[in-house]
Amino acid sequence: MDFSLSEEQRMLQETVGKFVADRYSLDQRKGYMALAEGHDQGVASELTELGLNLVQIPEDQGGLGGDAFDAMVVGEALGPGLVLEPVMEVMTAVAALAGGRPDILEDSNSHTLGLYERGQRYALTAAGTQVEGGKITGAKTLVPNTAGATHALVSASEGGQLGLYRVAMSDEAVTLFNYPLQDGRPFADLQFDGAAAERIDGVGLAEIEAAVARLTIAECAVAVGAMQAALDMTKEYLSVRKQFGRPLAAFQELQFRLVDMNMEVQDARSMAIWAANQANLTTGEALLRAASMAKAKIGKAATYVAEDSIQLHGGMGMTLEYGIGAFAKYLITFNLLHGDVDYHMGRSMRLSA
Amino acid sequence: MDFSLSEEQRMLQETVGKFVADRYSLDQRKGYMALAEGHDQGVASELTELGLNLVQIPEDQGGLGGDAFDAMVVGEALGPGLVLEPVMEVMTAVAALAGGRPDILEDSNSHTLGLYERGQRYALTAAGTQVEGGKITGAKTLVPNTAGATHALVSASEGGQLGLYRVAMSDEAVTLFNYPLQDGRPFADLQFDGAAAERIDGVGLAEIEAAVARLTIAECAVAVGAMQAALDMTKEYLSVRKQFGRPLAAFQELQFRLVDMNMEVQDARSMAIWAANQANLTTGEALLRAASMAKAKIGKAATYVAEDSIQLHGGMGMTLEYGIGAFAKYLITFNLLHGDVDYHMGRSMRLSA
Amino acid sequence: MDLKFSDEDLAFQKTIEAFCEDHVSKETRQKIALGHRLSKQDIVDYHKVLYEHGYAVPNWKQEWGGRDWTSIQHQIFDDVTAAYDCPRRLAFGVSMVGPVLQAFGSREQQEKYLPRIARLDDWWCQGFSEPGSGSDLASLKTTAVRDGDEYVINGQKTWTTYAQHADMMFILTRTDNECKPQEGISFMLLDMKTPGVTVKPIILLDGYHEVNEVFFDDVRIPAENLVGQENKGWDYAKFLLAHERFGIAQIGYAKNQLNRLRDIAAQERTEDGERLIDNMFFSQKLAEIEMDLTALEVTNLRVLSDVKNQSDLTFAGMLKIRGSDLNQKLTRLIMEAVGPAAAVEQQDLVLHGRNEPPLGPDYAGGAAPSYLNNRKLSIFGGSNEIQRTIIAKAMLTA
Amino acid sequence: MDLKFSDEDLAFQKTIEAFCEDHVSKETRQKIALGHRLSKQDIVDYHKVLYEHGYAVPNWKQEWGGRDWTSIQHQIFDDVTAAYDCPRRLAFGVSMVGPVLQAFGSREQQEKYLPRIARLDDWWCQGFSEPGSGSDLASLKTTAVRDGDEYVINGQKTWTTYAQHADMMFILTRTDNECKPQEGISFMLLDMKTPGVTVKPIILLDGYHEVNEVFFDDVRIPAENLVGQENKGWDYAKFLLAHERFGIAQIGYAKNQLNRLRDIAAQERTEDGERLIDNMFFSQKLAEIEMDLTALEVTNLRVLSDVKNQSDLTFAGMLKIRGSDLNQKLTRLIMEAVGPAAAVEQQDLVLHGRNEPPLGPDYAGGAAPSYLNNRKLSIFGGSNEIQRTIIAKAMLTA
Helix B252-281 with D384-397: angle, nearest 10 deg: 130
Closest CA to C292 of B266, B213, A297: B266
When pLDDT is cut at 50, 70 and 90, the band that residue B353 belongs to is: low
Cross-chain Cβ contact C207/A320 below 8 Å: yes
How confident is residue B276, by pLDDT bands cut at 50, 70 and 90?
very high
pLDDT band at C245, cuts 50/70/90? low
Q: Coil, strand, or helix at residue C254?
A: helix
Residue D390: pLDDT band by 50, 70, 90 thresholds?
Answer: very high
Round the average pLDDT of chain D to a whole number and report it. 94
pLDDT above 90 (res B117)? yes
Distance, CA of C12 to CA of C14 (rounded, Å): 5
Are B199 and B164 spatial neighbours (Cβ–Cβ below 8 Å)?
yes
Arithmetic mean of pLDDT, B72-92: 98
Q: Is D102 left (phi over 0), alpha (psi -120 to 50) or beta?
A: alpha
Ramachandran quadrant class, A119 (left: phi over 0; alpha: psi -120 to 50; beta: rest): left
The C-alpha atoms of residue A139 and residue A130 are separated, in whole angstroms, by 9
Same fold, B7-107 and B205-352: no
Other C-beta atoms closer than 10 Å to the C-beta of D305 total 18
What's the topology of domain C123-230? Answer: Butyryl-CoA Dehydrogenase, subunit A; domain 2 (2.40.110)
d(CA B322, CA B240): 15
Q: What are phi and psi of B156, to 5 degrees?
A: -160, 165
CA-based R_g, chain A, Å: 20
Beta strand A151-158 pairing with A111-114 = parallel
pLDDT of residue C353: 80
Q: C46 pLDDT exceeds 90?
A: yes
* Local structure of B148: helix, strand or coil: coil
CA angle (A1 as vertex; A65, D62 as ends), nearest 5: 150
- Tally C-beta pairs within 8 A across B and D: 125
Cα–Cα distance for residue pair A96/D254, rounded to 1 Å: 37
The whole-number pLDDT of residue C311 equals 82
Cα–Cα distance, B300 to B283 (Å, whole number): 25
Residue C283: closest CA among chain A residues belongs to which residue? A342
Name which of A84, A115, A182 to mutate to probe chain C: the one with the most chain C Cβ atoms within 10 A of its Cβ.
A182
Q: For residue A96, is pLDDT > 80?
A: yes
Touching D: A residues 216-235, CB under 8 Å: 235
Alpha-carbon gap, residue B77 to B12, rounded angstroms: 9
Please state which of the four CATH numbers 1.10.1300.10, 2.40.50.140, 3.30.1310.10, 1.20.140.10 is assigned to the domain occupying B205-352.
Answer: 1.20.140.10
Q: How many CB pairs under 8 A join B and C?
A: 104
State whether CATH 3.90.1150.10 applies to domain A111-199: no
Instruction: Report helix angle A252-281 to B252-281, nearest 10.
Output: 80
Determine the Cα–Cα distance for residues B114 and B164; give it in Å rounded to an integer: 9
DSSP labels, B261-284: HHHHHHHHHHHHHHHHHHHHH--H
Sorted by sequence, the CB contacts under 8 Å of residue C52 that are 6+ apart come out as: C23
Fold classification of B7-107 (topology level): Butyryl-Coa Dehydrogenase, subunit A; domain 1 (1.10.540)
CB contact under 8 A, C135 and A243: yes
- Alpha-carbon distance of C234 to C138, in angstroms, equals 8
Q: Within 13 Å and on the Cβ side, how many CA atoms surround B114?
A: 38
pLDDT, position D250: 92
Residue D147: Cβ within 10 Å count:
11
Is pLDDT of D134 > 80? no
Q: Is the pLDDT of residue D74 over 80?
A: yes
Which of B184, B332, B346 lies at the smallest CB-CB distance from D368? B332
- Rounded mean pLDDT of chain C? 94
User: Is residue D163 helix, strand or coil?
Assistant: helix
Within an 8 Å CB–CB cutoff, is residue A252 touching chain D?
yes
Residue A320, CB-side half-sphere exposure with 13 Å CA sphere? 19
How much of chain C exceeds pLDDT 70, in percent?
99
* CA nearest neighbour of A263 among D324, B264, D381: D324
In Å, how far is A216's CA from the nearest CA of chain D? 16
- CA–CA distance, A47 with B312 (Å, rounded to integer): 53
**Strands A174-180 vs A161-168: parallel, antiparallel or unpaired:** unpaired
DSSP per-residue string spanning B297-310: HHHHHHHHHHHHHH
CB A239 within 8 A of CB A247: yes
Using a CB-CB cut-off of 8 Å, the residues of chain D touching B181 are 343-345
Q: Is D316 left (phi over 0), alpha (psi -120 to 50) or beta?
A: alpha
Q: Quick one: pLDDT at residue C244?
A: 65
* Strand pairing report for B111-114 and B151-158: parallel
| Cβ–Cβ below 8 Å for C292 and B297 | yes
Separation CA D294–CA B178 (nearest Å): 43
Residue D89 is predicted with a pLDDT of 87
Query: Which pLDDT belongs to residue D226?
Result: 98
Q: What is the pLDDT of residues C166-202, one digit of tens each?
A: 999 999 999 999 999 899 999 999 999 999 999 999 9
Tell whether the model's pLDDT for residue C263 goes beyond 90: yes
Nearest to B207 by CA among B160, B249, B164: B164
Q: Which fold has domain C249-397?
A: Butyryl-CoA Dehydrogenase, subunit A; domain 3 (1.20.140)
Q: Report, in this order, helix, strand and coil percent for chain D, each rounded to 5.
A: 55, 15, 30
D259 lies within 8 A of chain C by CB: no
| D280 CA: distance to closest CA in chain C (Å) | 7
What is the CA angle D307-D310-D315, rounded to 5?
Answer: 140
Task: Please check the confidence at residue C135 and state whether its pLDDT lies above 80.
Answer: no
pLDDT, tens digit, 9 for 90 and up, residues B298-348: 999 999 999 999 999 999 999 998 999 999 999 999 999 999 999 999 999
The pLDDT of residue C351 is above 90: no
Residue D143, judged by CB atoms within 10 A of its CB (0-12, 13-18, 19+), counts as middle
Q: Are A208 and A97 in contact (CB under 8 A)?
A: yes
Partner A contacted by C130 (CB < 8 A): no
A323 at the C interface (CB within 8 A)?
no
H or E element at residue C363: none
Tell me the pLDDT tens digit for each residue of B135-171. 999 999 999 988 889 999 999 999 999 999 999 999 9
Q: How far does A87 lie from chain D, in Å, by closest CA?
A: 22
CB-based burial of residue C356 (10 Å sphere; 0-12 exposed, 13-18 middle, 19+ buried)? exposed
Cα torsion D348, B229, D160, D147: sign:
negative
Domain ranges of chain C: 7-89, 123-230, 249-397
Interface test with C, best of A178, A238, A320 (most C CBs within 10 A): A320
Nearest CA-CA distance, residue D148 and chain A, Å: 47
Question: Quick one: pLDDT at residue C151?
Answer: 98
- Per-residue confidence (pLDDT) for residue A297, from 0 to 100: 98
The pLDDT value recorded for residue B195 is 98
Contact A310, A336 (CB under 8 A): no
Chains in contact with C, where contact means 3 or more Cβ–Cβ distances below 8 Å, are A, B, D
Contacts of A258 in chain D (CB under 8 A): 392, 395-396
Contact A256 B251 (CB under 8 A): no
- Say yes or no to pLDDT of A257 above 80: yes
pLDDT band at C304 (very low <50, low <70, confident <90, very high): confident
| Residue whose C-alpha is closest to residue A152's, from A196, A114, A200 | A114
Q: Which residue of D has its CA nearest to A300?
A: D288
Let me know if B246 is exposed, middle or buried by CB neighbors in 10 A (0-12, 13-18, 19+): exposed
Domains of chain A by residue range: 7-107, 111-199, 205-352
Q: In this structure, which amino acid lies at residue B337?
A: L
Per-residue confidence (pLDDT) for residue B102, from 0 to 100: 95
Closest residue in C to A303 (Cα–Cα): C332
Residue B341: closest CA among C212, A338, D350, D332: D332
Q: How many CB pairs under 8 A join A and C?
A: 125
Contacts of B250 in chain A (CB under 8 A): none
φ, ψ (nearest 5 deg) of residue D173: -125, 155
Number of Cβ atoms within 10 Å of the Cβ of C170 = 27
Which residues on D lie below 8 Å from C279 (Cβ)?
A: none
Whole-angstrom Cα distance, residue A133 to residue A284? 31
- In the 8-state DSSP scheme, what is residue C364? T
D97-119 confidence digits (pLDDT tens): 999 999 999 999 999 999 999 99
pLDDT class for C312, splitting at 50, 70, 90? confident
User: pLDDT (tens digit, 9 = 90+) per residue, B2-55?
Assistant: 899 999 999 999 999 999 999 999 999 999 999 999 999 999 999 999 999 999
What is the torsional sign of CA D21, D27, D32, D38? negative
pLDDT for position A243:
87
Q: What is the mean pLDDT of residues A17-44?
A: 96
β pairing state of C168-174 and C124-127: parallel
Q: Cα separation of D376 and D384, whole Å?
A: 10
Cα gap A153→A158, rounded to integer Å = 15
**Contact criterion met (CB < 8 Å) for C284 and B5:** no
DSSP-assigned states of every residue in D133-161: TTT-GGG---EEEEETTEEEEEEEE-S-T
Q: How confident is the model at residue A145 (pLDDT cuts 50, 70, 90)?
A: confident
Query: Which residues neighbour A160 within 8 Å (Cβ) at sequence distance 6 or greater?
Result: none
Return d(Cα C364, Cα C344) in angstroms, integer: 8
